[in-house]
Every structure is written in C-alpha cells, then in structure tokens.
C-alpha cells in the first residue's frame, strides 16, 4: 500500500492524469487499457460511468501497483469510501466537499477537489486537500493558472478541461503541477476507435517528455 505522500510524488512524476469516462463499464475498461498501452499510467475513472467501483476493482486486479488509479466525479464521502475500498488511490471531485477531503485524509488517500476561485482554493487547502483541480480550466485558459499562483504560490494546481497535446506546454509554463486530460485523449473511444486513444496517449507522453527535457536543460 502506497502512503499519501508516495501517491503525491507518483502524480508529480507522471504529471498527467487520464480521465476515463464511458457509457458502459466494458467501454471504460477498454478506454483505460488503451491509455495504459499508450503510456499514461495515472487514471481517473469518473463516477458518471456505470459500475465505476467494479471498473476500478478490475483495473487494480489487472495492473497492481503499475498503474495509479483514482476515482473522479466524487460528490460525497460515501462514494469516496466505496472507491477507496475498490482500490482508488486518489479522489477527484468537481467541487469542494470538506467531508470528502477529511475522509481521504483518514485513509491516506490523495484528495483532489475541484475549484475555480481563490476563495475555493483556500477553503480546500484549509480542509486538507492535497492537489487542487482547476475546473473547468478551458474557461480561462493557461494564463489563469499563472494569475492564481501570484497570490497563492503554495497551491498545487491541476488544470482539467481543455488540455490538449498542442497546449500542454502552456499549462506547465504557467505553473501547473499536473494536468487532467479528458476528451482530447479519449474522444475517439466514442466511435469505438481505441487504437486512436492509444495513439493520442503516446502523443501526450512524447510531448511531456519534451517538456521535461526543456526543464533539464534550463
């Protein structure tokens, strides 16, 4: 079992969390496997997917410690606990629920609530959140991350929404700790093209490797 600080470091090492959201559990598993095949090994399974708990449990059984698994669209502590018992290592929400954050701290699981304003960021940090999900990030774009970090440089921010291969460097240049990637990664799965999802995952990984090389050279 990984402790919370180890999960945090694993997210930082990967920098990208792929979002798995599908109409059926079978499709969700195929999306997840396509992402993993392309090199994205930190995945959030959204609770808008039917039988999300079973999807998480199945992926954990298949991949063990090789893949970081979290649950997304978690609105309350009851749902968070179900996900944790199934093997989720981090809990992502679209909003700030203090009770959910506290439950995550109790079980040494990373808490990643969704916010948009400075007030919400401070509220989440005071409650014990580990990473702050900026959502929906596409509303204001990468420059908003820089604007938030000016008064709140201590906040570990993960923009989600609107992240693409093309703009990936901009999010990190403006201060993102990591990014959540949704439709720009898994979009082809809507037409059953899981090979294209794998190709997109590889493109994201290659782009991220290039960003890291820039950091090393700086």
Catalytic residues: 44, 133
Residues 6+ apart with CB under 8 A from 161: 135, 136, 137, 138, 139, 180, 182
Q: Cβ(171)–Cβ(159) under 8 Å?
A: yes
The Cα–Cα gap between 73 and 88 comes to: 13
The Cα–Cα gap between 146 and 94 comes to: 21
Q: 132-134 and 157-159: which strand pairing?
A: parallel
Structure tokens at 169: 């460097």
DSSP string, 58-75: HHHHHHGGGSEEEEES--
The Cα–Cα gap between 55 and 63 comes to: 12
């Amino acid at each position: 079992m990984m402790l919370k600080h180890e999960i945090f470091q694993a997210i930082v090492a990967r920098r990208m969390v792929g979002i798995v959201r599908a109409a059926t559990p079978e499709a969700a598993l195929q999306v997840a496997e396509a992402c993993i095949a392309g090199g994205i090994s930190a995945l959030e399974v959204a609770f808008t997917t039917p039988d999300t708990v079973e999807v998480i449990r199945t992926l954990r059984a298949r991949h063990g410690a090789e893949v970081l698994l979290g649950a997304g669209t978690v609105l309350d502590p009851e749902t968070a606990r179900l996900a944790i018992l199934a093997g989720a290592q981090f809990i992502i929400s679209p909003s700030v629920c203090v009770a959910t954050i506290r439950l995550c701290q109790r079980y040494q699981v990373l808490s990643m609530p969704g916010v948009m304003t400075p007030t919400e960021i401070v509220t989440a940090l005071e409650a014990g959140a580990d990473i702050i999900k900026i959502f929906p990030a596409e509303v204001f774009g990468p420059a908003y991350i820089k604007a938030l970090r000016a008064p709140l440089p201590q906040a570990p921010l993960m923009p989600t929404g609107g992240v693409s291969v093309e703009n990936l460097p901009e999010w990190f240049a403006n201060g993102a700790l990591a990014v959540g990637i949704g439709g720009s990664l898994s979009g082809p799965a809507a037409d059953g093209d899981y090979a294209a999802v794998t190709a997109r995952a590889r493109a994201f990984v290659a782009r991220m490797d290039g960003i890291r090389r820039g950091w090393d050279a700086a």
